[in-house]
Amino acid sequence: MRYMDYLKTEKFPLFWCAGCGNGTVLGAIVRAFEELELTRENTVVVTGIGCWGKADDYVTTNSFHGTHGRALAFGTGIKLANPDLDVVVLMGDGDGVTIGGNHFIHAARRNVDLTAIVVNNFNYGMTGGQYSATTPETRITSTSRLGHIEQGFDICRLAEAAGAPFVARATPHGPVQMKNLIKEGIRKKGFAMIEVLSPCPTHYGKSNRLGGAPEMLKWFDEHSVSVEKARRMAPEELQGKIVVGKMVDREAEDYGTKYRRIQQAAQERERRGA
Amino acid sequence: MKRDGEVVFTLGNDAITAGAIAAGARFYAGYPITPSSEVAELSSIRLPAVGGVYVQMEDELGSIAAIIGASLAGKKAYTATSGPGFSLMQENLGVAVMGEVPCVIINVQRSGPSTGLATKPAQGDLMQAKWGTHGDHGIIVLSPSSVQECYDLMILAFNFSEKYRTPVVFLADENVGHMRERYVRWAVTPADIVDRKAPSGDPERYRPYDFEGESDGIAPLACYGSPYVFRINGSGHDESGAPCGRPDNADKFIRHYEDKFLKNIDDITRVNSFGMDDAEYAIITFGCSTRAAKAAMKQARAKEIRVGVVQIVTLWPFPEAVVSSVGERVKGIVVPELNLGQLRGEVRKCVSSDIPVVGVNKVDSRIIFPDEVLKGLEEVVR
């Protein structure tokens, strides 16, 4: 299948605002699907709620659109019930690490073989640009007009600390890198989390005078530092920088593989009449 | 259901688990909470032994989400909880309603509100089971009064959930869940089991919510991984699952979420009657309070009060016609329940205002005793 075959082009134009990064992420996802030769029948795209939660409107694979923040829990059930499926869970920063933060850390810890793609635009776009758990301190949003006073999550560090065996970050300024990281994440046997920073010129960009989409993309580019380079930099040098690339890629047996051993042991026990 | 099988002496939560697995359930996701935890513990042992999956989630929001996902991936799925957890599940219970996803949610009721009197018996979630999740909808709620019914009705709960593409709430209570008594674990045959209607024909034309062309009014449901690619949507959607905000479409589907039960109410209704043939009075009740009602009936009949017991097993959709006809035959009704009158209100709606409907209500953490029911009955008789 070509990447366009994974898209419901009849639904175009995309619902998202001009300059939003979501279209670029969706493009990277379907290109990754093409390169991995995923089938529509065997793939399930699970979405949350919010701007990025509309992504399932445009895919031709199986899909599930549920509630705000719970996408990983729905995905966990789908994957554990049928381990042969490729389950790709799409969440925003609200879904992923704010209302759904508990599911996020436990999905990472549990290491179910899911691919989570968290598009982080630092605010709640759909409801009018309120602050989320990733909004950096001092930033202006529609509910922090005088400057945000909470610290924002670093989603990648959160995933790593929770035990995710694959953690990466990309920005729409590097769509090929993004596609490659998504591809690796889908291929990874275990919980893979790819954070994609995305410009929201309509709300976050406007409130913080970051300019339009081109300026925001340029800002991502200018502030991006590769994982390799970041390892050689001092913490103070990394202040205000965006580390992009693959932070974590380690071997860790996934939940489903371990659980199959539990099933075998339980069945053996049953046969012995224990 | 009188069938031969292994005689087991055990507690209700054990029979619930056995019933689920006998019904074909192969996936459990849950979060432990008393008085339902034995269902989790026994499921964690028994499911892997039959090739099923037990997963303990981080909370009840995730638990019900996981069983919805598992159901769509082709496994009959269930969870068990009690009041505080059932409150958390209301969010995604709505997803199962709107997504029309078969699954069974066991609520072994305990005293509320909030953490309540952990973990004393109560029957205070009758209304929550119907109305707890926001928006208009129907749902099936079954309630057992004995260990045997825990087993029998769990099988029925799965069958209904598959047949009507719906979440089914299994409304047990602490008393029934923790009570030990004898039951017959009859062996199910394929004829006892209902599986969801699968789609047929051209996969390109499959629409997971196209119920109108179906003789039973229920759209077929594929599972993820089959040739039938499909989309499940907890937002307002059309027949294909695509979001749709058209007023006529919204009207059609929201009515469908209730109509599919009302149109089939005769099939869904289960009511057990005891001594109603010559009854001048009726005790209408459900769950654990049925036991006190039956004992009170015997005591009353010894005093020559002609009374019968009507146990409402299918609480929702509420069997209005059955209760109305009871109301036409008796001079008065007593409704014992471990809450402040949730069932009584429904009964009141169904019978003439000339008929007294007296509640026997307890919320002091103790079950209702037969003499308390009898006292209520004697008030009606006077």
Burial class (CB in 10 A: 0-12, 13-18, 19+), B134: exposed
pLDDT by residue (tens digit) across A114-150?
A: 999 999 999 999 999 999 999 999 999 999 999 999 9
What gap in Å lies between CA A155 and CA A158, rounded to an integer? Answer: 5
Calculated CA dihedral for residues B193, B49, A105, A182, nearest 10 degrees: -80
Torsion angles phi and psi, residue B302, rounded to 5: -65, -25
Task: For residue A64, give the nearest of B26, B61, B69 by CB distance.
Answer: B69
Q: Does B5 touch chain A (CB under 8 A)?
A: no
What gap in Å lies between CA A20 and CA A196, rounded to an integer? Answer: 12
What gap in Å lies between CA B38 and CA B35, rounded to an integer? Answer: 8
Residue of B nearest to A105 (CA): B58
What gap in Å lies between CA A184 and CA A137, rounded to an integer? Answer: 32
Give residue B3's pLDDT band: very low, low, confident or very high (50, 70, 90). Answer: confident
Q: Give the percent of chain A with pLDDT over 90.
A: 99
Torsion angles phi and psi, residue B17, rounded to 5: -65, -45
Whose CA is closest to B13, among B158, B144, B192, B193?
B144
Residue A175 has pLDDT above 60, yes or no: yes
User: Locate tokens 């014992």: which residue?
Assistant: B336
Secondary structure percentages of chain A, helix, strand, coil, to 5:
40, 20, 40
Residues β-bridged to residue B53: B27
Using DSSP's 3-state secondary structure scheme, residue A75 falls into: helix
pLDDT by residue (tens digit) across B64-106?
A: 999 999 999 999 999 999 999 999 999 999 999 999 999 999 9
pLDDT by residue (tens digit) across B223-254?
A: 999 999 999 999 999 999 999 999 999 999 99
Task: For residue B242, give the nearest of A42, A57, A77 by CB distance.
Answer: A57
b/e burial code for range A83-112 (CB count within 10 A of at least 16 → b) = bebbbbbbbbbbbbbbbbbbbbbbbbbbbb
Say what the pLDDT of residue B315 is: 98
With a CB-CB cutoff of 8 Å, which residues 235-254 of chain B face chain A? Answer: 235, 241-243
**Angle between helices A101-110 and A71-81 in degrees, nearest 10:** 30
* Mean of all residue pLDDT scores within chain B: 97
The strand pair at B140-142 and B314-316 is best described as: antiparallel
Ramachandran assignment for A117, one of left (phi > 0), alpha (psi -120 to 50 degrees), beta (any other): beta
Whether the Cβ atoms of residue A27 and residue A174 lie closer than 8 Å to each other: no
Residue A103: list chain B partners with CB under 8 A: 58, 61-62, 65
Say what the pLDDT of residue A206 is: 96
Calculated CA dihedral for residues A221, A224, A228, A231, nearest 10 degrees: 160
pLDDT, average across residues B302-306? 97
Whether the Cβ atoms of residue A70 and residue A48 lie closer than 8 Å to each other: yes
Q: Does B59 touch chain A (CB under 8 A)?
A: yes
Gyration radius of chain A's alpha carbons: 19
pLDDT, average across residues B262-266? 97
Gyration radius of chain B's alpha carbons: 21
Tokens at A135, concatenated: 């909004």
- The neighbour count for residue A267, using CB atoms within 10 Å, is 14
With a CB-CB cutoff of 8 Å, which residues 97-116 of chain A face chain B? Answer: 102-103, 105-106
Say what the pLDDT of residue A85 is: 98
Verify whether the Cβ–Cβ distance B49 to A269 is below 8 Å. yes
Residue A263: list chain B partners with CB under 8 A: 48-49, 51-53
Tokens at A154, concatenated: 């670093």
* Straight-line distance from the first to the last Cα atom of chain B, in angstroms, rounded to the nearest whole number: 38
Task: For residue A62, give the nearest of B48, B94, B230 by CB distance.
Answer: B230
Verify whether the Cβ–Cβ distance A85 to B229 is below 8 Å. no
Say what the pLDDT of residue B167 is: 98
The interface predicted TM-score of the complex, written ipTM, equals 0.97
What gap in Å lies between CA B112 and CA B83, rounded to an integer? Answer: 7
Task: For residue B225, give the nearest of A46, A85, A106 by CB distance.
Answer: A85
Residue A72: list chain B partners with CB under 8 A: 62
What gap in Å lies between CA A154 and CA A141, rounded to an integer? Answer: 18
Say what the pLDDT of residue B382 is: 85
Whether the Cβ atoms of residue B245 and residue B236 lie closer than 8 Å to each other: yes
pLDDT by residue (tens digit) across B153-186?
A: 999 999 999 999 999 999 999 999 999 999 999 9
Say what the pLDDT of residue B1 is: 52
Say what the pLDDT of residue B275 is: 98
pLDDT by residue (tens digit) across A221-233?
A: 999 999 999 999 9
Tokens at A188, concatenated: 């990874």
Say what the pLDDT of residue B118 is: 85
Ramachandran assignment for B21, one of left (phi > 0), alpha (psi -120 to 50 degrees), beta (any other): alpha
Q: Does A86 touch chain B (CB under 8 A)?
A: no
Residue B325 has pLDDT above 90, yes or no: yes
DSSP E strands in chain B: the ranges are: 5-11, 25-30, 53-56, 76-81, 103-109, 140-142, 167-173, 180-186, 231-233, 271-274, 281-285, 307-312, 314-316, 332-337, 357-361
- The neighbour count for residue A143, using CB atoms within 10 Å, is 15
Residue B2 has pLDDT above 80, yes or no: no
* Straight-line distance from the first to the last Cα atom of chain A, in angstroms, rounded to the nearest whole number: 50
Q: Which pTM does this prediction carry?
A: 0.98
What gap in Å lies between CA B84 and CA A83, rounded to an integer? Answer: 31
